[in-house]
């Protein structure tokens, strides 16, 4: 009895089944370009409430194209004389480290940053006789000061014969302030064009230059390269502005709409100008008039407490540094939200590590960012994150179904064995039963019977539940709090009452079978075997029907068996093995079953028909739940982002209201 009770209490397949479902889910995500490094990240994906995404390459195509330029007096788009702008493009190209070549098939082969590649394409278009390598031969590079997020610019020093000069390229608002203008009106014109382009969602770069003396370069070379850089990047002469466009990904807008429908807040983080960032975010649906946009400079002036207090109001972060991402992640987490953060650089690693779901770029990402992340986006696409979240929610629900299926049977087994031992010991203590049972030791079910139910009868349907796709849309509801128990939202109650129902049915079956056997003159051993075999059938069949019930929220009478073929096939398979154990000679002896049950129609009716009682009960329960939730779904339709509150706080708020 103690062994049987231990077998009943422990759902042996739970860990194995959930691991299989997680592994299959991770494999499915990988096919959709989301490589999940940690199985437990799947649960976090399902609970994701905020997605903080880089703009370039994730929300956009990362295919920069120059669409306009300004030389202080005229726009390229209004000017038919393209050669006037060759100087701007040439200087910009000298600042580039990308490469553009043609292969044997006369196709372009590109290597490097898309922004720089855009200059090389324009160089080809404007002046196909001056390739970049020709320029580099003509204008020898002496020094390079790479771009960084603090300076927001990049500069090079070139030499042509005895002429030395520096070219600086970067953020217009930074470079314009470092330039000497003949009059304030010219500076104002540059700022006006910059704002105008930014409002049109263009990415704007300023190009400036500075003449240098050989002696100055040599002097700084000997003392300090950093001082040379400081000298080069001040007192500049403006050359022009260049407007580029990086088209949004076609899938990004739909993915953002899906995010909002699922109660997830999308946030854009970019190094672009604030107006450019707002324009693109508005076009994608991330930014609306009720939202706030903030620059990295403004963010640095806000205390951590103030950021935490107002974090949900910010949808766009522009001109930010990688370390700002860590502050953003921490602020969301202090508000108890599950946050996903994208990144590709070495400096993004701390934020990726700190976030609940760190998403590294598979194409442009550095090895450091990939090591720090939980998920790698093989296609660098925002839509892939949203797809992974949808998969995470689906997998979480599948695991809940599997756990519920296994625990319902375990509860039924515990009730049958634990209560049954005390109940039938009392019932069988009467004179009539003592005569019928003699000195036979009371047992309800053997350990082998229970193991068979646990591993085969409800084991295969449990796996099928984990493999079966649902027609339910999991992306039309808000995320679940990471502090919420898996048994919340009535799951614990439903598991308990269903387990009790099957347990009671099994107890009734045991008693009725024993009563029939006693009244028909069975010997003591066969009375207990007949009762045990019938309750074994009821428990096993009920476990399989329970899996069919859990596969959908609809009644099984209106669900499509072809769509849910995996569950139905597993149920048929499990029932077949259950019947083999009960009815096939010699096998039934091993499992301690009553070998003559096939010749007793009354016992067969008890064992095979009584489990059917649960089907109408489950269907009525589903109908009641549907009628209750029908109006709730309409009332709780998601129209705006709301913080996902921990369960205790939700209860406190409900009491307050």
DSSP type of residue 12: T
Query: In Å, what is the CA distance from 257 to each residue of 261, 286, 291, 487?
Result: 6, 9, 16, 30
Q: What angle do CA 124, 126, 128 make, to 5 degrees?
A: 45
Q: Pick from 288, 249, 290, 295: which is nearest to 272 by CA? A: 295
Tokens of 497: 């009452």
How far apart CA 407 and CA 400 sit, in angstroms, is 10
Task: Give DSSP secondary structure letters for 399-465.
Answer: HHHHHHHHHHHHHHHHIIIIIHHHHHHHHTTSHHHHHHHTTPPP-SS-HHHHHHIIIIITHHHHHHH
CA-to-CA distance for 473 and 454, rounded, in angstroms? 31
The CA distances from residue 554 to 215, 470, 558, in Å, are: 84, 11, 7
Report the DSSP pairing between strands 292-295 and 34-36. unpaired
CB 591 within 8 A of CB 447: no
Phi–psi pair at 482, nearest 5 degrees = -70, -10
Query: Which of these, 317, 261, 307, 310, lies nearest to 287 by C-alpha position?
Result: 317
Closest CA to 53 of 306, 299, 249: 249
Annotated active-site residue in 54, 68, 246, 380: 54
Residue 561's contacts (CB-CB under 8 Å, 6 or more residues apart) are 568
In the chain, how long is the greatest CA-to-CA distance?
121
Does the annotation count 54 as an active-site position?
yes
In sequence order, the β-bridge partners of residue 53 are: 268
Give the Å distances, CA to CA, from 189 to 200, 240, 558: 17, 11, 69
The token duo for 32 is 């959709």
Q: Specify the length of the chain in residues.
A: 657
Q: With contact defined as beta carbons under 8 Å apart, do 355 and 19 qualify?
A: no
Neighbours of 480 (CB within 10 A): 20
Give the chain's radius of gyration (CA, Å). Answer: 35
What is d(CA 443, CA 591) in angstroms, rounded to the nearest whole number? Answer: 13
Q: Can you tell me the distance from the alpha carbon of 58 to that of 284, in angstroms, rounded to the nearest whole number?
A: 12
Catalytic residue annotation: 54
């Amino acid at each position: 009895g103690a062994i049987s009770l231990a077998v009943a209490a422990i759902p042996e397949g739970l860990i194995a089944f959930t691991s299989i479902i997680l592994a299959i889910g991770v494999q499915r995500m990988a096919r959709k370009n989301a490589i999940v490094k940690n199985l437990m990240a799947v649960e976090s994906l399902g609970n994701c409430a905020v997605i903080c995404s880089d703009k370039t390459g994730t929300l956009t195509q990362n295919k920069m194209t120059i669409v306009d330029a300004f030389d202080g007096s005229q726009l390229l788009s209004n000017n038919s004389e393209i050669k006037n702008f060759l100087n701007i493009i040439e200087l910009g190209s000298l600042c580039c480290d990308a490469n553009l070549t043609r292969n044997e098939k006369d196709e372009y082969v590109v290597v490097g940053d898309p922004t720089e590649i855009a200059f090389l394409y324009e160089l080809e278009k404007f002046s196909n006789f001056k390739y970049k390598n020709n320029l580099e031969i003509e204008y020898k590079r002496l020094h390079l000061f790479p771009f960084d997020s603090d300076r927001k610019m990049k500069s090079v020093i070139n030499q042509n014969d005895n002429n030395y000069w520096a070219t600086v390229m970067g953020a217009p608002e930074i470079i314009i302030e470092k330039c000497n203008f003949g009059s304030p009106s010219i500076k104002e014109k540059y700022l006006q064009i910059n704002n105008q382009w930014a409002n049109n969602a263009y990415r704007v770069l300023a190009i400036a230059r500075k003449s240098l003396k050989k002696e100055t370069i040599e002097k700084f070379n000997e003392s300090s390269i950093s001082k040379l850089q400081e000298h080069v990047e001040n007192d500049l002469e403006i050359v022009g502005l260049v407007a580029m466009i990086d088209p949004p990904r076609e899938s990004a807008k739909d993915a953002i709409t899906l995010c909002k429908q699922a109660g997830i807040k999308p946030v854009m983080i970019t190094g672009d100008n604030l107006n450019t960032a707002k324009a693109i975010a508005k076009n994608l649906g991330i930014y609306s008039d009720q939202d706030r946009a903030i620059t990295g400079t403004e963010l640095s002036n806000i205390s951590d407490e103030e950021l935490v207090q107002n974090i949900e109001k910010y949808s766009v972060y522009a001109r930010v540094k990688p370390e700002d991402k860590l502050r953003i992640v921490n602020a969301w987490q202090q508000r108890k939200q599950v946050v996903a953060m994208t990144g590709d650089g070495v400096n993004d690693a701390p934020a990726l590590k700190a976030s609940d779901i760190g998403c590294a770029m598979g194409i442009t990402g550095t090895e450091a960012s990939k090591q720090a992340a939980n998920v790698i986006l093989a296609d660098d696409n925002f839509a892939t994150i949203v797809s992974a979240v949808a998969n995470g929610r689906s997998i979480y629900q599948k695991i809940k179904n599997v756990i519920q299926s296994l625990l319902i049977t375990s509860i039924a087994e515990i009730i049958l064995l634990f209560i049954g031992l005390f109940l039938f010991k009392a019932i069988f203590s009467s004179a009539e039963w003592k005569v019928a049972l003699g000195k036979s030791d009371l047992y309800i079910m053997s350990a082998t019977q229970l193991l068979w139910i646990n591993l085969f009868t409800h084991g295969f349907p449990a796996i099928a539940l984990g493999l079966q796709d649902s027609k339910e849309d999991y992306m039309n509801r808000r995320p679940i709090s990471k502090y919420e128990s898996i048994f919340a939202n009535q799951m614990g109650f439903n598991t308990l009452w269903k387990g009790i129902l099957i347990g009671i049915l099994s107890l009734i079956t045991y008693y009725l079978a024993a009563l029939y056997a006693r009244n028909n003159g069975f010997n003591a051993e066969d009375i207990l075997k007949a009762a045990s075999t019938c309750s074994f059938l009821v428990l096993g069949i009920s476990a399989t029907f329970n899996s069919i019930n859990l596969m959908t929220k609809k009644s099984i009478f209106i669900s499509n068996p072809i769509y849910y073929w995996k569950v139905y096939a597993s149920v048929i398979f499990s029932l077949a093995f259950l019947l083999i154990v009960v009815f096939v000679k010699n096998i039934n002896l091993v499992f301690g079953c009553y070998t003559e049950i096939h010749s007793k129609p009354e016992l067969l009716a008890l064992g095979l028909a009584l489990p059917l009682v649960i089907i109408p009960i489950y269907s009525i329960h589903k109908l009641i739940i549907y009628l209750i939730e029908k109006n709730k779904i309409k009332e709780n339709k998601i129209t705006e982002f709301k913080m996902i509150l921990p369960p205790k706080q939700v209860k406190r708020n409900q009491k307050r209201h």
